Amino acid sequence: MRQKIYDDASNPVISRISQACTQMEQTVVTLLTLARQEHTDADKHNVKLLPLIEQAVIDHSHLINNKPIDVKVHDNCDISVMAQPGMVKVLLDNIIGNAFQYTTQGQVSIEVRGMTLIVADTGPGIEQSISANITDAFVKGEQSTGYGFGLSIVKRLCEHQNWLFKTVNNQGTEIHITLTQ
C-alpha cells in the first residue's frame, strides 16, 4: 500500500512544522550574526513592528490553546524601528512565547509607550531566586521546559541594537524594551 505524503499547507500540523522551521532558521542566522559580531547598520531596515507582533502571536497561539487568556495587541504597536527584521522576529518570539507559556489564565498585553515595547502577562512572575540572573545563559525557572537561553538572547539582541532591556516582576511579568534609534 502506498503511503500518502502530506504537502497540504492547510493541515495545521504541517503548517506549524513549517513555521517552526522558519523560526529556527531566523534564530540560527541571528545567533551566527551575534557570534561573529557582524551586526552592521547596513543590515538594518525600517521594520514595521505590528506585523511582526501579530505573526509572533499567531506562531505561538498553540501555547495558549484551552487556557482562559485574553491577548491584547494595542494599536500603538503600529510603529517602525531601524533593525534587522529577523532579529526583531527572534526577540518577539522569545518574549511573546514566554508570556504565552507561563500564563495559565488572565491576560497578555502587548503595547508601546513612547518608544518602549511592553509585553505584560498575568502569569506567576519570575521566581525570586533567579530574578537577578534571569538574562544569564542557562538560568531558568522550575516550570521552564526550555534550556534557559531565551532572555539571554533577548538581552544580547537589545545590546546590539542599543536598546534598553528591563524585566519588571509584579503580578505577573513585564518585559520592557526601549527602542532607541
pLDDT digits (tens, 9 = 90+) for 131-175: 888 888 778 777 777 777 788 889 988 988 899 999 998 789 999
Cell match 524601528: residue?
A: 81
**Could you count the other beta carbons within 10 Å of the beta carbon of residue 64?**
19
Domain that holds residue 58: 12-178
Domain membership flag for residue 1: no
- CATH classification at residue 67: 3.30.565.10
Domain membership flag for residue 4: no
Residue 177 β-bridge partners: 117, 165
Please write the tens of the pLDDT for every residue from 47-87.
999 999 999 999 899 899 999 999 999 999 999 999 988 88
Residue 73 β-bridge partners: 110
Domain membership flag for residue 126: yes
pTM, whole model, 2 decimals? 0.80
